[in-house]
Amino acid sequence: MKLPGKIEVPVAGHRYWVTYLDQIADLATTIKTERSQFVLIDSTVDRLHGKAFRRALKGTQFLVIKAGEKSKSFAALEAIAEQLVKLGANRSSELIAIGGGMVGDLTGFLAGIFMRGIPFVQVPTTLLAMVDSSVGGKAAVNLKAGKNLAGVFHQPRAVYIIPSVLETLPARELKCGLAEAIKTALISENDFVTELERHSFALAAGSTELKAMVSAACITVKAAIVVQDEREQSIRAFLNFGHTLAHALEAQAGYKGILHGEAVAIGMRFAALLSRRLGYLTQADEQRITNLLAQYELPLTLADYLRLTRQKTAPQPKKLIELMRSDKKNKGKAIRFVLLNAPGEARLPEPVPEQELLASLKEFQALVRDERGR
């Protein structure tokens, strides 16, 4: 399999590389450091690949983190920090995150505050983490009030991507990564959108090389954005396309039943509808986005949300608006959305009047599961 190689992330004062590796064993010669290292590994990843990672990282202490969004909390953070101290971790140590976005976020946040900041390395094992969360230095935990509301900016020392581990990734998790890839394309380049339209979920599922190339394309886009706007003062907000409603849906579900990428897919479909209602996006382009999401077998509507969460009634528009008020992009009382002028051309977050938001949510609520461009 032909791998992408290396991608530079030249953040000012903290340049690092994303390196693609053929197999887990390659970490033995690439991840070395003079620091004492501690691995935080997702329990599911540990069950599937733990032996291989331990062989590659001999002499490194492993801490197993229970899989699931519940581990992305202050309670888990404190427990792990206490455990690290007991194991002898100090200011000269380094953390290694092995897992998906949850472990990467938790490890990055912990590294950012432990002993007032220590280095860490990302080894993402899900496609979602490989296309998005492992790069850029945003790390956070969830609060009861919402997702990722407590966090830091703390860039990794390095990122190592091993596409072969995706062979054990469940189809549902794979679709989540593809949702984030579609998001990246929609906010960056029409050519990238066109390239994704040439493929489908079935093709991506059967090709590790295709997944690796999609990951590299997304990281190249994200690296270019992060270098210009590390602290999310302007264009980095583009990366939140689809996330405003997504985070509200996840909070409404109590972070159960619906995966992050699934919520983002629904959020993108709503953001496209909102962009069209506000006169930015044509109806043809809205349909094009709907078709692309459907091509990768992603959820699109609140009916899909109910199916995934097994809830009996859809969240009411006013409740969703209430949940969206805690979104980090908001300023004052205004709820702000990243919208599109066209596939590949995003707009900076802008306030949407509550009356328009309520009307848009009611129109979105009326969409049914069969509304998939077929």
Point out the residues that are catalytic: 116, 138, 180, 222, 232, 236, 240, 243, 247, 260
How far apart, in whole angstroms, are the C-alpha atoms of residue 327 and residue 312?
26
Buried b (16+ CB within 10 A) or exposed e, 132-166: bbbbbbbbbbbeeebbbbebebbbbbbbbbbbebb
Q: Which residue carries 């992050």 as its tokens?
A: 260
Q: What angle do CA 73, 83, 260 make, to 5 degrees?
A: 25
- Residues 172, 165: Cα–Cα separation, whole Å: 15
Query: Comparing C-alpha atoms, which of 156, 153, 159 is closest to residue 139?
Result: 153
CA 343 and chain centroid, separation: 20
214-224 burial, b for 16+ CB within 10 Å, e for fewer?
A: bbbbbbbbbbe
Q: How far is CA 116 from each of CA 72, 105, 109, 230, 325, rounded to the nearest angstrom?
A: 20, 17, 11, 20, 31
CB 97 within 8 A of CB 104: yes
Please work out, in degrees rounded to the nearest 5, the angle formed at the alpha carbon of residue 132 by the alpha carbons of 219 and 80. Answer: 130
Burial classification of residue 43, based on how many CB atoms lie within 10 Å of its CB (0-12 exposed, 13-18 middle, 19 or more buried): middle
